[in-house]
Amino acid sequence: MQYIQSPVSTFCNGQACSMGSLLLAAGEPGKRYALPNASIMMHQPSGGASGQASDIAIHAREILKVRERLNRIYQKHCNVKDLDVI
């Protein structure tokens, strides 16, 4: 959506959950819509890890990196600075 020339409108008429909320936020500013009774749900990334403690620590660091990346994307598209979105 970010690499095409045409402005992209996004519309939520029911639920925009998880990555759907990111797609909704990535629409062109001023062209993002949600009906009054629509719901938008964001959550922190999650994942299951098993194995040695070092493997679990690596997995946890990767999940934290994904959370930071998602925060930056939401901040960019929602024009919010220095705030943890998720």
User: Rounded to an integer, what distance in angstroms lies between the CA atom of residue 85 and that of residue 43?
Assistant: 9
User: Quick check: 78 and 85 in contact, CB under 8 A?
Assistant: yes
Q: Of the listed 1, 19, 43, 57, which one is catalytic?
A: 43
Please indicate whether residue 59 is annotated as part of the active site.
Answer: no
Among 17, 24, 20, 25, which Cα is nearest to 41's?
17
Tokens of 20: 């759907």
Active-site positions read 43
